[in-house]
Amino acid sequence: MVNTTIKTTKSQEVFAAAQNLMPGGVSSPVRAFKSVGGQPIVFDRVKGAYIWDVDGNQYIDYVGTWGPAICGHAHPEVIAALHEALEKGTSFGAPSTLENVLAEMVIDAVPSIEMVRFVNSGTEACMGVLRLMRAFTNREKIIKFEGCYHGHADAFLVKAGSGVATLGLPDSPGVPKLATSTTLTAPYNDLESVKALFEENRDEIAGVILEPVVGNAGFIAPDAGFLEGLRELTHEYGALLVFDEVMTGFRIAYGGAQEKFGVTPDLTTLGKVIGGGLPVGAYGGRRDIMSMVAPAGPVYQAGTLSGNPLAMTAGIKTLELLQKPGTYDYLERITKKLADGLLQIAKETGHVACGGQISAMFGLFFTSGPVNNYEDAKKSDTAKFGRFHRGMLERGVYLAPSQFEAGFTSFAHTEEDIEQTLAVARDVMSSL
């Protein structure tokens, strides 16, 4: 039996102090472990596929700082590149060659992107793309999907996923009715409901925004034909199609979900991986649309630290590493082994479960499924997920602290790490 009572004295001390300093003791709600119970562990350092907490416990990490660490944490080549860049300063607030380099890499990789604007987070990328799609179409309404999360800007806090779903928050207070009155929602994977919204709001809908593979309601894959159907509907009604690939970009494939599924949106948002662990977001797409962004055009958006040399350096090196032949085959293989293994073990230990994976993104629900949308996801046994999460944590495996998040692997994860994780999962599920 693996030691299941890890020492967390220091984590508890640090987290207790944090509660007096920062709301909930965290810089982002989902980190507080509210939905899985127990106290969060306080990180001391990370490397490759591993975390060490302030009590010295080591964990195999499947959060990867929520996606950026696809090359493994603190990759030596990324760290070396950052040391070199540091010598030349941390922020310019002026054009730099590095922005050209990363912009060209993103444009070369992502089918929809002909021009790109760098920002500092996925939220900012989604805010920028929202203003742009409204300006380009001269329409105000948007369609988003229940359970999808596009950052915390007002217009998107409607039936959102991630931390909003995790904490079971109604649409957040402080968001004026007017800010969300133009946000329409539909169930994911339900083309009929989208068509009905277009019919009811003819000529008023600027566009449809979605996670092409959902990670913020737990892992939910698009049904066959769903993405293609949205492409057709948006063309038919003169609206734009926007893929929020903040999570899926460079993770589902080097060219994102749009490359994997062969559906090209008009605009795409990115984040996480393209910053390699430093703050970067981006939005990009058709040249005729992006040319409307200031100062080329009238659509205003700005940022002091946007495109800063450190973040650009980390992003450039990370994408270079991802270009290595065989990277995505490896990610697919180890993640499939993990996801299939977890389902098999759940079955063998008498638990009803479903889930899946695509490339380096996976999920598990304690429900018979299938989970095709947020309503299905909410039927899962989140209390059991909380016990599963705690059991895995106590045995050295760090999973996302919410049923409404996805899991992430990296190419630092070895076959042995996967086998160790599955052995621990068998131990935990046997005693759930």
Residues marked active site are found at: 149, 244, 272
Both ends of the chain: CA-CA distance in Å?
A: 15
Query: CB under 8 Å to 38, separation ≥6 — which residues?
Result: 390, 393
Looking up tokens 């004026």 gives: 176
Amino acid of residue 348: E
Q: Which is nearer to ligand KE4, 35 or 123 (CB)?
A: 123
How far apart are CB 383 and ligand KE4 at their closest, in Å? Answer: 21
Secondary element (H or E) of residue 3: none
Q: Which is nearer to ligand KE4, 64 or 429 (CB)?
A: 64
Query: What is the pairing mode between strands 361-365 and 354-358?
Result: antiparallel
How far apart are CB 313 and ligand KE4 at their closest, in Å? Answer: 18
How far apart are CB 121 and ligand KE4 at their closest, in Å? Answer: 4
Helix ranges (H only) for 167-286 are 177-180, 191-200, 226-236, 256-261
Q: Which is nearer to ligand KE4, 25 or 163 (CB)?
A: 163
How far apart are CB 405 and ligand KE4 at their closest, in Å? Answer: 5
Omega before 370 cis (within 30°)? yes
Q: Helix 415-430 vs helix 382-394: angle between axes, to the nearest 10 degrees?
A: 120
Q: Which is nearer to ligand KE4, 394 or 405 (CB)?
A: 405
How far apart are CB 208 and ligand KE4 at their closest, in Å? Answer: 15
Residues within the interface to ligand KE4 (CB under 6 A):
28, 30, 66, 121-123, 126, 149-151, 162-163, 211, 215-216, 244, 246-247, 271, 281, 405
Distance CA 331, CA 337 (A): 10
Q: Which is nearer to ligand KE4, 222 or 424 (CB)?
A: 222
Query: What is the pairing mode between strands 205-210 and 240-244?
Result: parallel
Distance CA 87, CA 181 (A): 49
Secondary element (H or E) of residue 241: strand 240-244
Within 10 angstroms of residue 79's Cβ, the number of other Cβ atoms is 15
